[in-house]
Amino acid sequence: MKTQDIIDLRKYKSEKNVSDFFLSRFSPRVFSSEEVPNSDLETILEAARFSPSSYNRQPWFFYVAKNGSSFFQKLSETLVEGNFWAKKAPVLILACYIEKDQYGKNEYAQYDLGQAVSGLVYQAQILGYYTHQMAGFDKEKAKTLVDKNHTPFVLIALGKIGDYEKADEEIVEMDKTPKERKNDWYQLI
């Protein structure tokens, strides 16, 4: 299957006037090996930096590893089996939250990290990259790789979308199915 066919299949449909930008984002499992320049990575991380956070505590830290580095290798060894495809991504980002700072325990650390990741994801999309977030990795193992104040929470594969004509059939099958969205997610009062 051609990559463009996957992109077309995975584009979300909405009857509301939501921007195509949001409908076009999806989490692929096939990434190009094309290197991501540091300048683009810096721009992407800058979007996370300007994310809102409770009391502006900014309880996040990102370890950005390029494929080929020993840190990337170590991160890829933490992945659960089902996330094997992420080992081919050009970049893996380990997103950590900071649970305790000079003001004490931060009840909103995970929430704020999620918002920062959201900024990063959409800035990546603006630059033509795709992302795929993963909870499926060994967090205890990942903890041994980071500063003691950082709690690993999500791994993010990032890169240009890859060639689905050369991808495993199993992955193409998984990725060609549009993800359902529930219909009862808010109440307008």
Ligand X SMILES: Cc1cc2nc3c(=O)[nH]c(=O)nc-3n(C[C@H](O)[C@H](O)[C@H](O)COP(=O)(O)O)c2cc1C
Q: Where are the beta strands (DSSP E) in the chain?
A: 60-66, 91-97, 100-101, 104-105, 130-134, 151-159
CB of 102 to ligand X, least distance (A): 28
CB of 30 to ligand X, least distance (A): 12
Residue 2 phi, psi (nearest 5): -75, 150
Please list, residue by residue across 154-186, b when 16 or more beta carbons sit within 10 angstroms of its beta carbon and e when fewer do: bbbbbbbbbebeebeeebbeebeeeeeeeeeee
CB of 93 to ligand X, least distance (A): 13
**Residue given tokens 């370890």 in the structure block:** 63
Q: How far apart are CA 122 and CA 43, in angstroms?
A: 11
- Which residue has its beta carbon closest to ligand X? 136
Going 113 to 114 to 115 to 120, the CA torsion angle's sign is positive
Nearer to ligand X, 169 or 189 (CB): 169
CB of 143 to ligand X, least distance (A): 17
CB of 50 to ligand X, least distance (A): 20
Binding site for ligand X (CB under 6 A): 26-27, 83, 133-136, 154, 179
Nearer to ligand X, 98 or 132 (CB): 132
Strands 104-105, 130-134: pairing is unpaired
Q: How far apart are CA 171 and CA 164, in angstroms?
A: 9
